Structure 1
């Protein structure tokens, strides 16, 4: 027995292989991790899909669920995927399919869903037995030419079916829709991008394989999220484009609305990608209750299927900009995403920059085009071979018929045809035997000849494609541009550059805009073209919708690339770029100016200076700011003192009690200064008589104001270097005005009483405006009611100093002129059509105009007779 047992023990020992458990664990875990990495969690660089998504699309295609066919139950699709290709849980397949149908999850959806597929508030989809699906038209192009041997197929899990290793996509899906996933020891987070931009990038790469990433970024600018929002800063995105790893900061889009009661609302119209709106609303509510965010009275999520709308009602004294910044800081209204471009390249995971992803896709498309062309050539040659056999048979038709009739069986007939000496082979002979008799008619014989000739041309073309790489890449470009034309759209996510990243003015279109500021401090900018020219004495158009107690107080024209210096009545100076002023409709109210700059509630803007470039040292050093106050004080300070903007503003002049800043002007150091008072007096003196002082100084006397009811209404500075001397325009509160030559005002010392500039009567009302104007300019007059009229300066009569002027605008009872300004060199033709829209041009005041032009005969306060009107 022992002899018999010993070989048995030896045999058992041979079956046991001793292994190091550490090595075994390593090997097993690496095998598992690679299975997860390649087969589950990471997308393929070529079609941008994970296996589950690829299987869903392929199964739907096999079921015939095209976009022009009827929907089918989601459960049917899930069953097809599970039974044939994907041996995992049904929820994994259904969840993946649902996400492909959610327009807030995918930049370009692949599945067209019917039924409840959830929403952005975190509500889940209905069960798969209730929802229905079919392919989106775009997804069909992911499967184009799959039947033409363009990709390799593999056996499924039980070797009963075949499935594609990859889809022959025409869409650069990895960049377009992005991907995210967690594998073992690695993860991926690829942001979605705009289809049009990505295709432009692919075309640029095909045209120049040596293109740099910075050049590619001129096409593929930044991620483009399905939920819109605003990208805040480009530095992290640039790193992601160059290295495959970076960071993108996204903010929700907000707007500030004003309710009828005057209270402001912050309305969130877009939230960052993957942010739950209900969770965001609840979080804001918690922060308000915990006093972390101040100024919010009520928050409500009013979003529906038409879009996002989360409304935050503010307290009456709350500053909207402060609240918005607190929301960005404490809530998901500002979110950051890590860019980690990891994808499977030739079976291995790799970190890819944007050029890598585009080049891999283009290389794959080239392979697809080659394989498709080879397949089409093979099929064309097969068909041409058969047609060649038909043509041979038709050339020997009688002999062929005789041979077939004399053959006992089809096999004998086939052999007889092959052995007849006409050069037919087995395939051709079999095709001849299967030929229907109707193909022997004359017309059908011609069709066979035409088909053969066209096939030979196609074969020659396909062979040329295979031998010419340039033609292949042209085909790729053409197909990509067709996709762009069909499915390309505008960016949804706006890009905002930080101030230290780029000169933002390079991104802003330079154009003239009209800036309006109301009495209660609402500001907006409007295109200058919206204000049309009218004849003198017209009714005007509405330039701003205001509340009963509000009216337009400042109205002027500036370029979007300029910087505005705002001077307040308490003598402070603030800075604001024109492009930062919110754009509004002509009849709109605008935004509260406190939301744009840190202006105290008890202060208000009095005057604005438009500076082209504060960084131009030569310009800044050669110019001054001239300030004047209501009580006649004047002060000169170098522009250099105002060339370094501060968020909190700076002191421009020290204002004594009972006085306020009225006007600020930019001068070149050699101007003639004119100041005018309500009672109709004006003074002219040289700027050189005012010595320059620092920002904190009080100033010196400019004009004498000795009446408690009198005050300075304006100041102008006329440069001695001007090519053509401007004229002085004065306007009274009841709409009367005139132009007078500057030289009619004699020079005096500053601090004097001045001379008469307008004959103030009950008919004209007090003096309200003083401007220096040129004939090439247009005049804009705004009333407290919001009515605005635009007229050419050349149409206003030039009269003597002591006249009352002519009527410029009809002012309704109880209304007064609030602001006057000029539009520089706007060549706009007058509209003279009667009864146009609701604002007909007045053509009935020609007679009254002549009487208005009559000289009042009043004497000047100094000396000299008044002048008759021209």
Structure 2
């Protein structure tokens, strides 16, 4: 007979949805999340129950871990041996569990993430406090269900005579749910339970007067009481956990940071490596050595610092950038009434209290049943001893044990259980002493029955029993709090001075965009001579700066580059610098206009910029202090046909002079330029004629003597007094600076401010350069066309003119 094939035609999404739904239900209820009553996941509960059932308890010798793992897998938890062993090891790690539930002999791992020894090498037994989790389990206090192969029974929950969910916390990830419940101090949790029992409406604020917050096995400092309160009220909240660190002085003016406690769940070896990586990668220059000096006596990490380093600054940097400080997010999800539930502190306490009421009630019922049964037997024995001769006579006259029991029941109205006890009585029990003992036992049983009946009929007595037993657990197992709690989360500010060593360097920037920093040693060795630069290039900036300074580079595209000096390429004086485009991305044809160094951005100063099309703009210096500077940042929002021709730092200057290509000059107060943000375009500074453009801008301090040197494209130059230009208002055409010629008129290349022995360098289209000393020029009026310095015909048109600062001899 052939077997017919049966199949169901079902949509794939239905099949997958159904299977995944079942899998999710299993993962959520029976694997990854703890029970709200005993705080255990199924694998943990099975390990503890298997050890208890095998007699592997605290008052007996240790047993091989492999034997326990085998029992757990064979009887209760049909999964991999390594996963069961890992769960068992975790229960024994005093840096993971606030009160260890398993004691282990041998290598059970370390805070450095080392693996434990194989289970064939280690030995384990239940800890003393685990006996409190399992106490009274044999008195029908919890529900038992068949194990996976129906060969044995296992508990669905443990009696849990202390609130394990809060004491040891829990962490886990299931399908769609995750849980993170931190551990707490046993005595504080028990005090909170007792308060909630006395006052079922106790608020979170009231409970927090006794239960202050988490207490991690690794200690540390917890910051953020508001986060704890929010978590207790809603189930979700955030706190900061930081290491306990102290700064100790060393010989020679040095200091060291000593860490004695680290945050919960942080891998110590990884944390130390990361701290050392910051030193090795030169992200943090103040550390000379990082050592792990931990031993049997406790944890100790030493961070030795270089001389004259701000230890607090280094510590703050490490708090912010390493696991020396971490955030802990509460996510208090547990299985409550067979459902995953976001638990608040009151619901957790209530779930535990309800569980204890059920446990004590069931235990009392069990003990009462046992006491009543024994009382019945004792009453039968007392009655039998009072008519002993008749009883003996009846038994002797019987055929066998069954007949003797039937005769006793029939003749003297004994029950089956009493008759069994009488016929099983040993002869020595017939002495006079035994009747006295039986009467004393009956009296004791009567009291016990009354007591148990009282517990079962009075809610107050039930509550008092639970409170008394919790008080005993508190007395026996309470430990001092390890983590300290600070109300506020400390805001960490890190100054650049902490991260960057102070070093004097020479910084140079050329017109064509080559930048570098050079050590003072390299500069001194060259005596400041033989600076590496292309022939067509010239120095735009040279200055002695500190590595903790910043330099701002302004470009023709209306951008600025924020460049910390310590991040400039360190290049020898005689070697060519690195082009700015390799540090930040620049637009095509974008070139550097100006470079200005700053120690900080707190000065009451402004950056003033001018565009070719006559726009002027003023922005506060503090706006130029940025955190992200991997690209050029907009400082003047220009149109496509425009370009920035000037950027200057304004401190005491009160006026601005603008010179145009067609030889117009305008002078006006800077106050007429409004202060705006970085991305604005600015306002009109000069009213340009068609075809005209701005070529120069000069910041003026009226208290300083200043002349103006004008250079034209035909190679002429002249010097004028600043007073030739009256102060007017912005957006005007201005006044002429040259006599107008009908044929081949002069066009202005640059207007340069001169106050002393400056030199002006003129460069022509043919590459000819000539220096002109400002003192050699005679002062003339606005209508003069000046003196010819170069011949336009043979030397070519002048295309560039700029000031060279002359170094005075010391």
How many Å apart are 1:50 and its aligned residue?
0.4
2:73 maps to which residue?
Answer: 82
Match of 1:831 in 2: none
Please report how far the alpha carbon of residue 346 of structure 1 lies from its aligned counterpart in structure 2 after TM superposition.
1.2
Counterpart in 2 of 1:491?
481
Question: 2:462 corresponds to which residue?
Answer: 472
Corresponding residue to 1:45 among 25, 33, 36: 36
Question: 84, 92, 95: which is aligned to 1:104?
Answer: 95
- 207, 222, 228: which is aligned to 1:216? 207
1:364 to 355, 373, 381: 355
Separation (CA, whole Å) in 2 of partners of 1:66 and 1:262:
55
Q: Deviations over 1:273-331 (max 9, x none)?
A: 11111111110111112222231111111112321111111111101110110000100
- Partners of 1:306 and 1:155 lie apart in 2 by 46
1:170-208 superposed Cα distances (whole Å, 9 cap, x missing partner): 110000000001101111111111101100000000000
| Mapping of residues 285-434 of structure 1, within 5 Å | 285-420=276-411, 422-434=412-424
Contact 1:106 1:226 in 2 (8 A): yes
Partner of 1:60: 51
What is the TM-score normalised by the length of structure 1?
Answer: 0.55
1:812-831 aligned within 5 A? none
- How many pairs align? 493
Superposed CA deviations along residues 777-835 of structure 1, whole A, max 9, x for unmatched, are xxxxxxxxxxxxxxxxxxxxxxxxxxxxxxxxxxxxxxxxxxxxxxxxxxxxxxxxxxx
Alignment of 1:229 with 2:212, yes or no, is: no
The 3-state SS of whatever aligns with 2:148 is coil
Residues in 2 aligned to 1:234 and 1:457: alpha-carbon distance in whole angstroms: 49
8 Å Cα contact 1:73/1:132 also seen in 2: yes
Q: CA deviation at 1:500?
A: 9.7
Distance in 2, Cα, partners of 1:475 & 1:253? 41
Q: Within 5 Å, which residues of 2 pair with 1:154-303?
A: 154-303=145-294
C-alpha contact (below 8 Å) 1:294/1:323 kept by paired residues = no
Residues 47-68 of structure 1 deviation map (CA, whole Å, 9 limit, x = unaligned): 0000111011111111212212
User: Which residue, out of 56, 79, 84, partners 1:93?
Assistant: 84
Secondary structure class of the residue paired with 1:154: strand
**Which of 132, 137, 144 is 2:135 aligned to?**
144
The answer on 1:436 being equivalent to 2:437 is: no
Distance 2:267 2:472 in 1: 36
- For normalisation by structure 2, the TM-score amounts to 0.60
Runs of 4+ in structure 1 over 6 Å off:
none
Secondary structure in structure 2 of the residue aligned to 1:47: coil
Q: Tell me the distance in 1 between the aligned counterparts of 2:177 and 2:230.
A: 19
Q: d(CA) in 2 for partners of 1:309 and 1:461?
A: 54
CA positional deviation for 1:16: 4.6
What residue is the counterpart of 1:132 in the other structure? 123
What are the ranges of 5 or more consecutive residues in structure 2 without an aligned counterpart?
492-601, 603-810
SS class of match (1:137):
coil
- The corresponding residue for 1:839 is none
**3-state DSSP of counterpart to 1:335:** strand
Q: CA-to-partner distance for each residue in 1:353-402, whole Å, 9 max, x for gaps? A: 11111110000000000000000000000101111111111121111000
- Matched-pair contact (CA < 8 Å) for 1:101–1:110: yes
- Find the aligned partners of 1:483 and 1:50 in 2 and give their Cα distance: 22
Secondary structure in 1 matching 2:418: helix
Please provide the CA RMSD for this pair: 1.9
Displacement of 1:112 in angstroms is: 0.8
Aligned-partner Cα distance in 2 for 1:430–1:498: 72
SS at match of 1:141: helix
1:25 pairs with 1, 16, 35, which one? 16
| Alpha-carbon distance in structure 1 between the residues aligned to 2:7 and 2:173 | 38
Residues of 2 paired with 1:68 and 1:262: CA distance? Answer: 55
Aligned to 1:77, the other structure's residue is in SS state helix
Equivalent residues of 1:47, 1:174 under 8 A apart: yes
Does the residue aligned with 1:67 lie in a helix, a strand or coil? coil
| Deviations, residues 58-82 of structure 1 (Å, cap 9, x unaligned) | 1111121221211111111111111
Per-residue CA distance 1:71-109 (angstroms, 9 max, x = gap):
111111111111111100000111011111110010110
- Following the alignment from structure 1 to structure 2, what is the Cα–Cα distance between the partners of residues 167 and 188? 20
Q: Give the distance between the partners of 1:414 and 1:361, measured in 2 at CA.
A: 48
Q: Give the CA deviation at 1:140.
A: 0.8
Write the deviation string for residues 124-156 of structure 1: whole angstroms up to 9, x where unpaired.
111111111111100111000011110011111
2-structure distance, mates of 1:74, 1:118:
14
Whole-Å separation in 1 of the counterparts to 2:166 and 2:282: 42
Q: Deviations over 1:683-723 (max 9, x none)?
A: xxxxxxxxxxxxxxxxxxxxxxxxxxxxxxxxxxxxxxxxx
CA distance in 1, matches of 2:72, 2:296: 30
Residue 438 of structure 2: aligned partner? 448
Picking from 472, 475, 478, the partner of 1:482 is 472
Aligned pair partner of 2:110 in 111, 115, 119 = 119
SS of the residue corresponding to residue 142 of structure 1 reads helix
Aligned partner of residue 247 in structure 1, secondary structure: strand
Distance 1:356 1:219 in 2: 17
Matches within 5 A, 1:577-726: none
Counterpart contact for 1:277–1:301, Cα < 8 Å: no
| SS of equivalent residue, structure 2 residue 134 | coil
1:20 positional shift = 3.6
Rounded Cα–Cα distance in structure 2 between residues aligned with 1:198 and 1:436: 52
